Amino acid sequence: FSDVLNFNKYKLKVIEGPDAGKEIVAERRVVTLGSAYDGDLVLDDVTVSRRHCEIVFDGGGYLVRDLGSKNGTYIESFRIKEGFLRPGCRLGLGSTTISFELVGEQINVYLSRGDRFGDLYGQSLEMKEVFGILQRVAPTDATVLVTGESGTGKELAARAIHNHSKRADKPFVVFDCSAVPRELIESELFGHVKGAFTGAVQSRPGAFLSANGGTLFLDELGELPLDLQPKLLRVLENREVKQLGSNETRQIDVRIVAATNRPLEQMVSEGEFRQDLYYRLAVIQVPLPPLRHRRDDVAFLVDLFLRDLGRSGPGFVVSHDTMEKLKQYEWPGNVRELRNYVERATILSTGRQIDANLVPQGAGGLGGQQGGNGIETSIDLNVPFKLAKEQLIDRFEQEYLMAALEAHDWNITQASQQIGIHRKSLEYLMKKHSLRRPS
C-alpha cells in the first residue's frame, strides 16, 4: 500500500532582515518561503519575491530550490538554483538571512508504492506523496480541497477520489464556478422550480441535487462570487438545499471535492473569500505539484502518452538530447501542455523519431539567438527606435499570448489567470493581434 519516508523537523529563524527574530518549525516535506501570504515562512521584505524558494526533503537531504526569484537564493555566499542545506548553514533571500537547524523530532510521510492513482500518473517522490494522501482520503467522506496550477490534474484527482470511494457507483457532478454566468450560478448550483424567475419554464434540480448520493466537484472555487459564499456554506453545514422559488428544503447526502488554482488563504486576508467557508472546505488539502517541480516524471509521462497515442499506428521514439531539453522546459501548462505537445509532435514529426525542432521554445536554449521568452532579438538599425520598439512589443505579445493560450488549450479564463491579467484584457489583446484557435 505505502512506504514511509522519515525526516526530521527543522527550524528556520530569520537572523537578519526586516523580520529578524521570526521563526517557524517545519513539519512538512515541502516548505515555501517568500512574501506571499499563503507561504509557510512569510517575509515582509521588499527584496523577497512572492514565492521565492522552497525547501524539499527528497529522501537524501533537505534541498532548497529557487522558484525564479528576482534577487536570487543563496546558501552561505553562493547563489544557487538548487542546493542541499546542512545544519547550521545560512540561507539568503534578498536582504533576509535565515538559519537552518534540525530540531530532532521525526515526521512520517506515507508514499504510495504505485505510479498511478486513477488517471494521475507519476514516479517522482512528489507524486508518490500525493498518491499516498489520496489513497488514505478517498475511502472516507471527508471534504477535500485540491490545489495546484492549471493543467496539473485537479479534476483527475477529484474523479479518482470519487472512483475509490463507497460512492463510486453514484453520480459524479462537475460544477465549474468560472464557466457559469454570474446571474445563473445560484440556480445552476442550488436548482430552481418552474416560474422562479423570468425564463424558468421548467424546474431544474441544480448541481447539489443532481449529485445526491455521490460527489460534487466544485472546480475553480476561487471564482465563486462573494455574495453566494454564505449560501454555499449554509448548504454544506446543514446538508440541505432550497431551490430558487421554493419554500421546501430538501436533505442531501453529497461529498464535496473542491479545486482551485488561486491562493485562497491570501484571498481570505484580502476579503475576497470567506474564512469560514475556506476552513469548511479545506478539511483535507491535496496540493498537486507543477510539472517543473517533478522533472523526473517527464520521460515517464512522454512514454505513457506515446504508447497511448500509438495504439493504432507506429510507435515513436525520443532521442536522449530531445528528452533532456523537454526536462529543462518549464511547462507553464503542466501535464496538459506536455500531452498536447506529444500529440502535436507525433503528427508533425517525419519518421518514427520526434523532431528536435518541435521541442517548445525556451527548452535547452533552442532556436538560435533569442531572448528569455523565445523572441528573436535581431536588431535592424535602419528602423527608427520608436518603430523598432513597437514591433518588438507586438511580436512579444503575439508569441507570449499564443504560448499561454496553447498551454491551456485555448481556455481564456485559465490562460489569463496563469499570466496574471484580466480576462477582458486578454480578449482585447487577442482581438488586437487577430489570435484565433487553429481550426
In this model, does residue 376 exceed pLDDT 50? no
**pLDDT per residue over 45-66, tens digit each?**
999 998 899 999 988 899 999 9
In this model, does residue 351 exceed pLDDT 90? no
The domain made up of 290-367 has a fold known as: Helicase, Ruva Protein; domain 3 (1.10.8)
Q: pTM for this one?
A: 0.73
In this model, does residue 299 exceed pLDDT 60? yes
Nearest alpha-carbon partner for 426 in 396, 406, 393, 397: 397
In this model, does residue 156 exceed pLDDT 60? yes
For residue 277, what pLDDT is reported? 97
Given CA atoms 96, 101, 102, 104 in this order, what sign does their dihedral have?
Answer: negative
Calculate mean pLDDT across residues 319-331.
Answer: 88
Calculate mean pLDDT across residues 295-320.
Answer: 82
In this model, does residue 92 exceed pLDDT 50? yes
> How many C-beta atoms lie closer than 10 Å to residue 415's C-beta?
24
Architecture of domain 376-439: Orthogonal Bundle (1.10)
**pLDDT per residue over 117-148, tens digit each?**
999 999 999 999 999 999 999 999 999 999 99
Delimit the CATH 1.10.8.60 region(s) of the chain.
290-367
Delimit the CATH 3.40.50.300 region(s) of the chain.
114-287
Calculate mean pLDDT across residues 165-175.
Answer: 97
- Torsion angles phi and psi, residue 325, rounded to 5: -70, -35
In this model, does residue 371 exceed pLDDT 50? no
Buried b (16+ CB within 10 A) or exposed e, 149-187: bbbbbbbbbbbbbbbbbebeebbbbbbbbbebeeeebbb
In this model, does residue 366 exceed pLDDT 50? no
Please state, in angstroms and rounded to a whole number, the distance separating the CA atoms of residues 14 and 21: 5
Calculate mean pLDDT across residues 36-49.
Answer: 88
Of the listed ranges 49-63, 110-124, 299-313, 357-371, the one predicted with least confidence: 357-371
Delimit the CATH 1.10.10 region(s) of the chain.
376-439
For residue 50, what pLDDT is reported? 86
Residue 392 pLDDT level (bands cut at 50, 70, 90): confident
In this model, does residue 372 exceed pLDDT 50? no
Delimit the CATH 2.60.200.20 region(s) of the chain.
2-109
The answer for residues whose C-beta is within 8 angstroms of residue 53's C-beta and 6 or more apart is 32, 33, 34, 64, 65, 66, 67, 69, 73, 91, 93
Mean confidence (pLDDT) of the chain: 86
Please state, in angstroms and rounded to a whole number, the distance separating the CA atoms of residues 65 and 82: 4
In this model, does residue 375 exceed pLDDT 60? no
Calculate mean pLDDT across residues 403-411.
Answer: 86
For residue 382, what pLDDT is reported? 56
Please state, in angstroms and rounded to a whole number, the distance separating the CA atoms of residues 299 and 305: 10
Q: Find where cell 523530532 sits.
A: 105
The domain made up of 2-109 has a fold known as: Tumour Suppressor Smad4 (2.60.200)
For residue 1, what pLDDT is reported? 54
Of these ranges, 1-5, 101-105, 370-374, the one predicted with the greatest mean pLDDT is 101-105
- Torsion angles phi and psi, residue 313, rounded to 5: -150, -175
CATH 3.40.50.300 corresponds to the domain 114-287? yes
